[in-house]
């Protein structure tokens, strides 16, 4: 009796789980529509690229490179454990905004918040982000579109000076301007 039940179960399993000889059916019209729309997109991008390259060739001679523009942007420095912008740093932000409106117009601006080595890693990452946010608000107030500005905090992980003195630590409490294509 057990062998009869066991053979019945095996036969049922073979019937229901047998291999299929059918080929999978592919929706051919959907593939054709997708291929056509992709070809149209590629053609539109190619046409746009050629026309923009033709107009850019004449203006390349008068424009500075991204590295040259970045070199004109100076860092904004902060007091110990602070993220408010001092009045003496406001001029650097105004200069940065002027450059971002003119020469750096085709680029996005990345603000990199940095801290000295004092404080925990978590605290310094948060403080670096608050510093970058303060500079972003100042740039937006100067007329830079908020969508062109991104922020990142490096905390204490990106020092420009590694000496153990107050002058060096003050150089590390900063927000740097970087340009993105």
**CATH for 130:** 3.30.1330.60
Among candidate residues 114, 163, 157, the one with its CA nearest the CA of residue 135: 114
Among candidate residues 80, 87, 76, 142, the one with its CA nearest the CA of residue 113: 76
Q: Per-residue pLDDT tens for 132-167? A: 999 999 999 999 999 999 999 999 999 999 999 999
Structure tokens at 69: 């523009």
Structure tokens at 181: 């294509």
Q: In whole angstroms, give the CA distance from residue 48 to residue 36.
A: 18
Does residue 58 lie in a domain region?
no
Q: Residue 100 is part of which domain span? A: 87-111+126-154+172-181
H helix runs in the chain, sequence order: 2-16, 28-60, 66-72, 87-101, 121-141, 166-172
Does residue 137 lie in a domain region?
yes
Structure tokens at 100: 């971002």
Q: How many domains does the chain have?
A: 1
Does residue 176 lie in a domain region?
yes
Among candidate residues 66, 65, 68, the one with its CA nearest the CA of residue 109: 66
Q: Per-residue pLDDT tens for 85-142? A: 999 999 999 999 999 999 989 999 999 999 999 999 999 999 999 999 999 999 999 9
Q: Is the pLDDT of residue 59 over 60?
A: no
Residues 6+ apart with CB under 8 A from 52: none
């Amino acid at each position: 009796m057990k062998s009869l039940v066991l053979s019945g179960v095996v036969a049922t399993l073979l019937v229901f789980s047998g291999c299929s000889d059918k080929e999978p059916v592919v929706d051919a019209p959907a593939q054709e529509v997708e291929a056509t729309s992709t070809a149209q997109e590629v053609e539109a991008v190619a046409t746009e690229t050629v026309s923009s390259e033709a107009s850019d060739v004449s203006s390349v001679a008068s424009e500075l490179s991204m590295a040259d523009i970045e070199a004109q942007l100076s860092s904004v420095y902060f007091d110990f454990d602070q993220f408010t912008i001092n009045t003496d740093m406001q001029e650097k932000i105004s200069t940065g905004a002027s450059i971002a409106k003119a020469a750096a117009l085709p680029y996005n601006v990345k603000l990199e918040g940095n801290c000295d080595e004092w404080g925990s890693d978590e605290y310094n990452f948060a403080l670096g982000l608050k510093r970058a946010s303060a500079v972003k608000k100042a740039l937006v107030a100067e007329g830079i579109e908020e969508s062109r500005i991104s922020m990142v905090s490096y905390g204490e992980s990106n020092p420009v000076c590694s000496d153990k003195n107050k002058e060096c630590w003050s150089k590390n409490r900063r927000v740097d301007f970087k340009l993105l294509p």
